[in-house]
């Protein structure tokens, strides 16, 4: 067989392949269809449960059975995605209208996950059976082959209301994401009816019915005026707050009770909220908190924060809004699949798409019903006519040799081969012209149908069939009639499944929190050689001076309102607010400096740790491995950022020494190869922190500055060099940018 090699550009193949993959994820996995508001995995799960007969009025079945059947027949993408979709459709705290009735542990609002699928059971909710699946046998939607073409599945479910709005949706595709908030079922149905009565209605007109999102967790939407623009464009940000009540506590204390949370706080964010409140107390941002209690249960959320007697409650609540997720933002992006492609739609467009779909479904439904009623009329008319000539028909049946002969006589009047009792009967039989369906019904008819009551029932049934035909023809020929039928069905759904609104929609002013300024005082900063830091009172330090100096690497006074500055070998300056460090007793627990600053102990080394106050009073000396020196005014390091570049380094260079210049007269540079250079500090020029500096001494090809020492104007400075003591005051004073003296010991 001859090989055929097709040459093509690799980039074109990659581009086409990625586009195909992206569209597959967008259309077949991540985004919901605007018509039924379901993603493919949700639609397939519901349809599979329908096929298995796991309906609302039947016993529950194991979730594992549902997941396995769905995966094997319709959704070959792993059991976890199917089970997760099933779980979400059971959770009333995530969905405005749950579609599956779960039995067992299906998780909770606090973030506890569902039990394994082998333990839980499920069945369809009644609303799902009635509003999504009941008309599938009436050819209302197209059925398409499944992944291996062994089964058929619906391309969309005939949802009778805009499920996309009622239950919302969240999904991340390739290059796009959808985030649609849930709404109140009753309000959505009212808006749909308003649109059907007046298709020129504006979004503002629709919002007379749909006030805004209705989250299952309740809460308060505080930017009501922004909702019109959000519903017009399909994108925007909804500001949410939890519901807070104030109760009287014990001994005159006040309890702040959070009874409803923002929808975005569902799951692990409740634990994060409690942790954030505790952190506010630990970091001394507030001293009003006495106790925090999470009293949430199956009945609902109840988080109690006990405050001191003299606490400013309003200011504390505003602090919760500003410092925690009690006030949060829900990003709206109403993206869904419409006509086979992703589209961002506003409120009116979503309702329009659903109404158009309702008319399409109703048209197909009543066309199918009309055809069935016409078939029934044909048979009923044949049976009624047959009852009028029943003696002739019995004579034909008795005289025929087989069914075919009898059928031919009934439909075509053929009497050849049939034995008649009377000649008139043969003449009458030749005039018969029943249709084929009527003839089959007559031949299948049982004798008891000849009873008078049965005949009367047949006539009544025929009249009912004629009435149905007239009604269906009217519905199909007049849009107003079809619209009324759709609205009647919507009213029935609303009566059966509506609930009161949970989320309050209003405009509220932005929370204003006045942070109480801490009383300025001097404290002692302590940090051990492992990088654990804390602050203590000066009096506590004086009582434990010897232990504090022995156990800690850095010990110095600072203001509690000030900052700690950390200079590193990489030339960075990291700042830490003293307030962020724990303040307490001498043996209280410290925190790693990495946790309260950007300093990374795995990649950096501390060169100097000091207070911002000291830097502001003095100048700072820098020395690097490549012997670059400079003096910088300490005020330049009074910065707002947590991390800035303290100096500029050449490639391969790093900081060896940073020192505050107080009374130092000489600087001594020591290299790895044993060269020492001593010269006056005044020879080092003052530069900006962004400068490289000047060369301090000439280095050999592989030599580098290893240590830097300073000699004060009076007194001796003794160092240990190669296990021997060395007096720096005895070194000859040289000049900057010379080679220095080789010291041999």
Q: Provide the annotated active-site residues.
A: 119
Q: Which two tokens stand for residue 144?
A: 């398409």
Residue 187's closest CA among 165, 164, 157, 203?
165
Distance CA 312, CA 315 (A): 5
The per-residue DSSP string of 119-165 comes to: T-EEEE-HHHIIIIITTGGGT-S-EEE-TTSSSEEESS---SS-HHH
Distance CA 294, CA 265 (A): 15
Q: Buried b / exposed e across 547-566, counting CB within 10 Å, b at 16+? A: ebeeebebbeebebebbbbb
For residue 487, give the 3-state DSSP assignment.
helix
Distance CA 579, CA 560 (A): 6
Distance CA 187, CA 494 (A): 9
- Per the DSSP assignment, residues forming a β-bridge with 297 are 300
- Which is it for the CA torsion 397, 399, 402, 407, positive or negative? negative
Distance CA 100, CA 55 (A): 10
Distance CA 110, CA 267 (A): 5
Q: Torsion angle, CA of 652/657/661/664, rounded to 10 degrees?
A: -120
In angstroms, what CA-CA distances link 104 with 93, 629, 691? 16, 71, 67
Residue 549's closest CA among 532, 569, 566, 528?
528
CB-based contact 91:106 (threshold 8 Å): yes
CA angle 538-540-546, nearest 5°?
100
């Amino acid at each position: 067989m001859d090989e055929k090699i097709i040459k093509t550009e690799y980039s074109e193949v990659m581009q086409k392949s990625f586009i195909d993959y992206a569209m597959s994820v967008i259309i077949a996995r991540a985004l919901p269809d605007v018509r039924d508001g379901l993603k493919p995995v949700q639609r397939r799960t519901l349809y599979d449960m329908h096929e298995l007969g796991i309906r609302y009025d039947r016993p529950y079945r194991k979730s594992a059975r549902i997941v396995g059947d769905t995966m094997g027949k319709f959704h070959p993408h792993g059991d976890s995605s199917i089970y997760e979709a099933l779980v979400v459709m059971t959770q009333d705290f995530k969905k405005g209208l749950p579609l599956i009735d779960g039995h067992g542990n299906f998780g909770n609002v606090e973030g506890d996950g569902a039990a394994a699928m082998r333990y839980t059971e499920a069945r369809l909710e009644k609303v799902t059976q009635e509003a999504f699946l009941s008309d599938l046998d009436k050819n209302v939607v197209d059925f398409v082959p499944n992944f291996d073409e062994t089964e058929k599945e619906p391309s969309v479910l005939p949802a009778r209301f805009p499920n996309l709005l009622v239950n919302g949706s969240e999904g991340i595709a390739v290059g796009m994401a959808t985030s649609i908030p849930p709404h109140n079922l009753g309000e959505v149905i009212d808006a749909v009816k308003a649109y059907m009565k007046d298709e020129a209605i504006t979004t503002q007109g629709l919002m007379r019915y749909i006030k805004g999102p209705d989250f299952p967790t309740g809460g308060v939407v505080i930017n009501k005026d922004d909702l019109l623009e959000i519903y017009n464009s399909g994108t925007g940000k909804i500001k949410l707050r939890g519901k807070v009540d104030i109760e009287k506590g014990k001994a005159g204390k006040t309890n702040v009770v959070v009874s409803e949370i923002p929808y975005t706080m569902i799951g692990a964010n409740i634990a994060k909220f409690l942790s954030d409140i505790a952190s506010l107390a630990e970091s001394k941002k507030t001293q009003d908190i006495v106790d925090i209690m999470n009293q949430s249960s199956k009945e609902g959320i109840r988080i109690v924060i006990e405050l001191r007697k003299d606490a400013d409650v309003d200011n504390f609540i505003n602090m919760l809004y500003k410092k925690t997720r009690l006030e949060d933002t829900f990003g709206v992006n109403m993206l869904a699949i419409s006509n086979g492609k992703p589209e961002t739609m506003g409120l009116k467009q979503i309702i329009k798409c659903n109404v158009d779909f309702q008319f399409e479904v109703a048209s197909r439904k009543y066309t199918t019903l009309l055809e069935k009623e016409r078939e029934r009329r044909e048979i009923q008319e044949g049976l009624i006519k047959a009852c009028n000539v029943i003696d002739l028909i019995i004579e034909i049946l008795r005289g025929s040799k087989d069914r075919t002969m009898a059928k031919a006589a009934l439909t075509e009047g053929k009497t050849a081969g049939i034995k008649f009792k009377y000649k008139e009967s043969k003449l009458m039989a030749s005039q018969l012209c029943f249709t084929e369906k009527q003839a089959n019904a007559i031949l299948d008819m049982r004798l008891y149908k000849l009873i008078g009551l049965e005949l009367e029932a047949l006539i009544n049934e025929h009249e009912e069939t004629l009435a149905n035909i007239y009604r269906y023809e009217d519905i199909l020929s007049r849009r107003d009639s079809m619209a009324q039928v759709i609205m009647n069905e919507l009213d029935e759904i609303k009566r059966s499944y509506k609930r009161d609104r949970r989320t309050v929609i209003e405009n509220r002013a932005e929370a204003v929190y006045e942070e109480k300024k801490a009383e300025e005082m001097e404290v002692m900063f302590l940090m051990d050689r492992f990088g654990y830091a804390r602050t203590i009172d000066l009096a506590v330090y004086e009582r434990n001076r010897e232990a504090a100096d022995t156990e800690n690497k850095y010990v110095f006074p600072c203001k509690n309102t000030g900052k700690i500055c950390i200079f590193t070998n990489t030339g960075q300056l990291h700042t830490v607010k003293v307030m962020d460090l724990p303040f307490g007793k001498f043996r209280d627990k410290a925190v790693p400096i990495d946790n309260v600053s950007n300093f990374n102990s795995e990649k950096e080394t501390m060169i100097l740790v000091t207070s911002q106050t000291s830097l502001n009073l003095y100048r700072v000396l820098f020395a690097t491995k490549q012997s670059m020196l400079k003096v910088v005014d300490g005020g330049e390091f009074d910065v707002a950022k947590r991390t800035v570049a303290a100096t500029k380094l050449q490639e391969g260079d790093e900081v060896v020494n940073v020192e505050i210049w107080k009374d130092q007269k000489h600087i001594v540079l020591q290299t790895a190869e044993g060269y020492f250079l001593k010269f006056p500090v005044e020879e080092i020029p003052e530069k900006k922190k962004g400068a490289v500096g000047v060369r301090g001494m000439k280095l050999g090809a592989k030599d580098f500055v290893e240590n830097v020492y300073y000699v004060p104007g009076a007194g001796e400075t003794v160092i240990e060099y190669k296990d021997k003591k060395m007096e720096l005051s005895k070194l000859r004073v040289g000049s900057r940018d010379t080679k220095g003296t080789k010291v041999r010991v």
